[in-house]
Amino acid sequence: MPLNAVTALPSFTRPVKATLSVAVFSLMLGLVGCNKAETPEQGADTDAPVETTAPVAGQDAATNSTATANSDQVVTIYSSRNEQLIKPLLDQYTEETGVKIELVTDKTGPLMARLDAEGKNTPADMLLTVDAGNLWQAAEQGLLQPVSSPILEANVPAKYRDPKGLWTGLSLRARTIFYDPSKVDAAQLSTYADLADPKWKGKLCLRSSKAVYNQSLVASMMENLGVEKTEQVIRGWVDNLATDVFSDDTSMLEAIAAGQCEVGVSNSYYYGRLLDEKPNFPVKIFWANQDTTGTHVNISGAGVIANSDNPDGALKLMEWLSSDKAQGLYASSDKEYPVKEGIDESDLLRSWGPFKQDTISVQKFGALQTQSIQLMDKAGYK
Ligand code: FE
């Protein structure tokens, strides 16, 4: 799409904005396309495939549907969530409401860079991503606008929402300990900090410190244990590593299954998805910190784009995603925990048993992100 074709257009109507964004984005691909901190992960959220624009529910991929549809009837989502996991939920919304959804999938970093570059011309109405650290970062960069919603306030506990209404959690994920039951007795396990004990020397597997999930976990430890103690723990983890750090949680879990290590830390839904494929996957889950602060819990969530043309449409969709029906789907198809209390979990999640969650507000993860990265770097955690 040549840029001069855009400048010849008379006014910045929504269809023109969509055209402009394509032009701006094709320029940006060169800037962000090579910026991959981690290797792709099967079924991952933050490592979603690079730039697939996938129209939902019968939309014509070859045309700008925004040019033909009433803009109130289209919500454009910039999403870092795995498309296969989120699309059934969005299809359901379109079926119920008639509102079409344009889904643009990429990693969170490139999506935020794209929003920043597009500015007022962005076609995006909603950012859908994982980890409170990412949502906090998007809010810090001024990419989101505050919303006030009695529905979200009723459905989503305050500790999983931004106090100014810039973003809200829509599902929960636990980051906890996994182990090889042929070598480890659950009675030997207790806390994240205990994985720094010399008894785990040469037995621990971890994902890279570059993963926002680990940055948030370490941020929670800084809050719960203090900075000095957290640094000691990280140094102990590094001393105990059986092998180099992994680029994703799934590979780490597979390394435990393969006997490369005996214990590790992963988000719960990766384990659930592996069990779906291999019901006899030889790894067990252990709820960390049950006698202390509770297991680390993070969110996936969303915010309304600051420059959205259809903020009401984006908010309605967010409210729907927090409804009983959508929350049940998060539990059954995504293997995540509902953010709304009192929603029935899937059989699989129930089989892992109840657990005590860390009560820390997820807003802290973003605020401590830079310090967390610096601490891991100082302690030699790659
Ligand atoms: Fe993930």
**What is the share, in percent, of the chain residues with pLDDT greater than 70?**
81
Distance 44 CA to ligand 1 centre (A): 5
Distance 313 CA to ligand 1 centre (A): 26
Judged against a pLDDT cut of 80, whether residue 59 lies above it is answered with no
Judged against a pLDDT cut of 90, whether residue 302 lies above it is answered with yes
Judged against a pLDDT cut of 60, whether residue 243 lies above it is answered with yes
Distance 1 CA to ligand 1 centre (A): 34
Distance 196 CA to ligand 1 centre (A): 24
Residue with tokens 């344009």: 102
Q: Which two tokens stand for residue 374?
A: 């610096």
Q: What pLDDT, on a 0 to 100 scale, did the predictor assign at position 193?
A: 98
Q: Of the given ranges (14-28, 262-276, 290-304), which has the lowest mean pLDDT?
A: 14-28
Distance (Å, whole) CA 18 – CA 34: 24
Averaged pLDDT of the chain:
86
Distance 268 CA to ligand 1 centre (A): 9
- pLDDT one-digit tens code per residue, 327-363: 998 888 889 999 999 998 889 999 999 999 999 999 9
Judged against a pLDDT cut of 70, whether residue 92 lies above it is answered with yes
Average pLDDT over residues 266-276: 96
Instruction: Report residues near ion ligand 1: CB below 5 Å.
Output: 44-45
Distance 355 CA to ligand 1 centre (A): 20
Average pLDDT over residues 48-53: 34
Distance 253 CA to ligand 1 centre (A): 13
Question: By the 8 A CB rule, do 97 and 146 touch?
Answer: no
Distance 304 CA to ligand 1 centre (A): 21
Question: By the 8 A CB rule, do 242 and 260 touch?
Answer: yes
Residue type (1 letter), 342: G
- CATH superfamily for domain 22-171+299-346: Periplasmic binding protein-like II (3.40.190.10)
> Would you put residue 248 in left (φ > 0), alpha (ψ -120 to 50) or beta?
beta
The pLDDT confidence band at residue 71, using thresholds 50, 70 and 90, is low
Q: What pLDDT, on a 0 to 100 scale, did the predictor assign at position 359?
A: 94
- CATH superfamily for domain 173-296+367-378: Periplasmic binding protein-like II (3.40.190.10)
Average pLDDT over residues 132-158: 97
Distance 60 CA to ligand 1 centre (A): 29
Judged against a pLDDT cut of 60, whether residue 23 lies above it is answered with no
Distance 323 CA to ligand 1 centre (A): 22
Please determine whether the domains at 22-171+299-346 and 173-296+367-378 fall in the same fold group of CATH.
Answer: yes
Residues in the annotated binding site: 269-270
Q: What pLDDT, on a 0 to 100 scale, did the predictor assign at position 332?
A: 83
Residues in the annotated binding site for Fe cation: 269-270
Distance 46 CA to ligand 1 centre (A): 6
**What is the share, in percent, of the chain residues with pLDDT greater than 90?**
78
Judged against a pLDDT cut of 80, whether residue 202 lies above it is answered with yes
Higher pLDDT, 41 or 273: 273
Q: Where are the domains of the chain?
A: 22-171+299-346, 173-296+367-378
